[in-house]
Amino acid sequence: MPAVGSTALMTSPMPPSFHPGPHGLRLATRFVPGRGPALVFLPGYMSDMAGGKAQAVLEWAAGQGRACLLLDYSGCGLSEGDFADGTLSRWRDEVVALVAAHGLDRVVLVGSSMGGWLMLLVAQALGERAHGLVGLAAAPDFTEWGFTADQKTALGAGETVREDNPYGPEPTPTHPGFWADGQAQLKLNEVVPFDGPVRLIHGQADPDVPWDISLRLAAALRSADVQVHLIKDGDHRLSRPQDIAVLLATLSSLLTE
């Protein structure tokens, strides 16, 4: 789809670059240089930078002359590693390292689903370098509210839990290491120490992440500059042309304030 306000779109996928990560694995990125603050897209669980929202953000940024970084966490997409080793803490450290590797001194973090939880951890690690946050069906604390008591017992005992995956043929695994790390990173019942602008977009027809999670996150954030945009018929992916238009309009408004 045409990007809002863009003057040029990429006609073919940008080839990836690879950077050494903090744990010795090569991590895949796509980077468009430009003015800051740079956009950094954080994919969801078992997702990668090839997704439609990430590509739309990259194309929009290129058309605006704005810096943008896409990335694959270790064990995901084109990056090295085993997905079973992935945790929020590990992926946070990777994102922070990639921000530094690209010389980005101010960033707006755009987090999709799990990426909306990860962006809170990355923002805390980056401190003043984190200018703003944009959450898309943000899913903080899903290791707590997203599992039954029986599943939590199994995960706590070191078992991997597999669930039906509506987005692919293979079941979605949750590994005990990821779950335990997530339980140590819960955010919704405490003050989230971020003071910059935050924009949260959530579909009210989301079957995976209840839309009230974005309301709870808005309440937990210390910032006074928080806005929640609810899309009544929006699903979890928020990948329809009209959903992406909302995302790009949100970025445009946030970056011109």
pLDDT band of 6, cuts 50, 70, 90: very low
Average pLDDT in the chain: 93
Given a contact cutoff of 8 angstroms between Cβ atoms, the answer to whether 27 and 72 are in contact is yes
Amino acid at 90: R
> What residues make up the domain containing 75?
17-256
Closest by CA position to 95, among listed 185, 183, 19, 36: 19
- Residue that is written with structure tokens 């003043």 in the block: 128
Map residue 129 onto helix, strand or coil: helix
User: How many CB atoms are closer than 10 A to CB 178?
Assistant: 24
More confident: 2 or 111:
111
Q: How many domains does the chain have?
A: 1
Q: Is residue 11 part of a domain?
A: no
Tell me, yes or no, whether 3 lies in a domain: no
Is the residue at 53 inside a domain? yes
Please tell me what DSSP assigns to residue 221. Answer: B
- Rounded average pLDDT over 182-195: 98
Q: Is residue 130 part of a domain?
A: yes
Beta strand 35-42 pairing with 107-112: parallel
**CA distances to 28, 102, 187 from 16, in Å:** 6, 14, 33
Structural domain includes residue 4: no
Residue 49, in any domain of the structure: yes
Q: Say if 235 falls within a structural domain.
A: yes
Residue 6: inside a domain: no
- Compute the distance between CA of residue 50 and CA of residue 48 in angstroms, rounded to an integer: 6
Q: Are 29 and 69 in contact (CB under 8 A)?
A: yes
Catalytic residues: 113, 206, 236
- Kindly report whether the peptide bond that precedes residue 197 is cis, defined as omega within 30 degrees of 0: no
For residue 2, pLDDT over 60 is answered with no
Per-residue pLDDT at 189 exceeds 70: yes
Residue 30 belongs to a domain with what CATH number?
A: 3.40.50.1820
